[in-house]
Every structure is written in C-alpha cells, then in structure tokens.
C-alpha cells in the first residue's frame, strides 16, 4: 500500500537494440540540424521498438513510422523510425498501441520488418527527438545499446 502513491522516476531508455549515435550523424537535415528538436538516434539491429519514456501516446501515425509521446509533466518526444519511411504508407510497420494509450518506458510500441524495408533501400535509423518540455544536452556518445536500456 505504501508504494501506491510512489512517483515513477523519470528516465529515457533506448528505443531499439542497436548502435547509438548523435543526431548530428543522421543522414537527414531535419534531424541532424535539430529542426524538430534535440535528441539521439539508434541504428537498429532488429525491428522491435519500445517507448523511450513513460507517458501517453498523443500521436500514432497511421503509417506506423512514428509515435509522439507526452509525459504527465509535459515533456514531448517523437520516435521516428527510418528516413523517408512515411513514403511506405504503413507497409512493413505494425503499431502495437493506439493513440491515447498509456505507455511505460521500455514497453513495445511498434514492430517493423527490418529486412524487407532495407531491401527496398530505406535507412532505418530510429530517432528520438524532444520538440518541447525537455531541455537537456544529449551527449550520449556512440555505443551499442539494448532496447529498454536506461540512457538518461
């Protein structure tokens, strides 16, 4: 009973297994120049994506390539899977949640067919950007990370 009102600790986790890289290394100016906000990226090793933080899925794009999550404290984050993947109109993406769903950091939110999308020539670098509510220096370096691994 005493844990009933315990406030969940804020954390940001890796959205996928893979190679963590700075946004500046993403091959798309919208992300590398931080036009949508600061954050980080992971070159995925597989097609399983989890929520990078706990909150509400404010937007689940019909194409499945992106999810917007907002915390109860107003921190907004966008998980964007791949470069130019909106062009696929949902082909190869399988959202596991719907708009309005409550998610916890590390909970699966989207699956995608990594091999099929790569065969079509798409880069699947997965970006996590913070358009508002979170001012943090994302100097996370470059390294291999596991999905759900705490980064911040």
Euclidean distance between CA atoms 74 and 68, whole angstroms: 12
Kindly report the number of other CB atoms within 10 A of residue 50's CB atom: 21
9 assigned to some structural domain: no
Tell if the pTM clears 0.95, that is, is over it: no
The pLDDT tens digits of the residues spanning 78-106 come to 999 999 999 999 999 999 999 999 999 99
Total domain count, the chain:
1
Token pair in block for residue 80: 């964007």
Give the CATH number for residue 69.
2.70.70.10
Buried b (16+ CB within 10 A) or exposed e, 133-151: ebeeebebeeeebebbeeb
What are the percentages of helix, strand and coil residues in the chain, rounded to 5? 10, 35, 55
**pLDDT at position 8 over 70:** no
4 assigned to some structural domain: no
Token pair in block for residue 71: 């915390």
13 assigned to some structural domain: no
Q: What residues pair up with 14 in beta bridges, in sequence order?
A: none
Could you list the residue range(s) of the whole structural domain that residue 41 is in?
18-135
Q: One of 65, 80, 94, 136 is an active-site residue; which one?
A: 80
Token pair in block for residue 64: 């499945």
The pLDDT tens digits of the residues spanning 109-141 come to 999 999 999 999 999 999 999 998 887 888 899
Largest CA distance in the chain: 53
11 assigned to some structural domain: no
142 assigned to some structural domain: no
pLDDT at site 137 = 81
The pLDDT tens digits of the residues spanning 25-49 come to 999 999 999 999 999 999 999 999 9
Query: With 0-12 CB in 10 A as exposed, 13-18 as middle and 19+ as buried, what is 5?
Result: exposed
143 assigned to some structural domain: no
- Could you confirm whether 80 is annotated as catalytic? yes
113 assigned to some structural domain: yes
């Amino acid at each position: 009973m005493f844990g009933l009102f315990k406030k969940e600790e804020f954390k940001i986790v890796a959205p996928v297994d893979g190679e963590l890289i700075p946004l500046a290394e993403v091959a798309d100016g919208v992300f590398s120049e931080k036009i949508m906000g600061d954050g980080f990226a992971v070159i995925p090793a597989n097609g399983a994506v989890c929520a990078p933080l706990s909150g509400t899925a404010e937007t689940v794009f019909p194409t499945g390539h992106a999810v917007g999550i907002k915390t109860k404290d107003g921190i907004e984050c966008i998980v964007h899977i791949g470069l130019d993947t909106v062009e696929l109109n949902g082909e190869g993406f399988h959202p596991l949640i719907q708009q309005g769903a409550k998610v916890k950091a590390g909970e699966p939110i989207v699956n995608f067919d990594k091999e099929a999308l790569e065969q079509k020539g798409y880069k699947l670098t997965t970006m996590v950007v913070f358009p508002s509510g979170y001012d943090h220096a994302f100097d996370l370096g470059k390294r291999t990370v596991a999905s759900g691994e705490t980064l911040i």
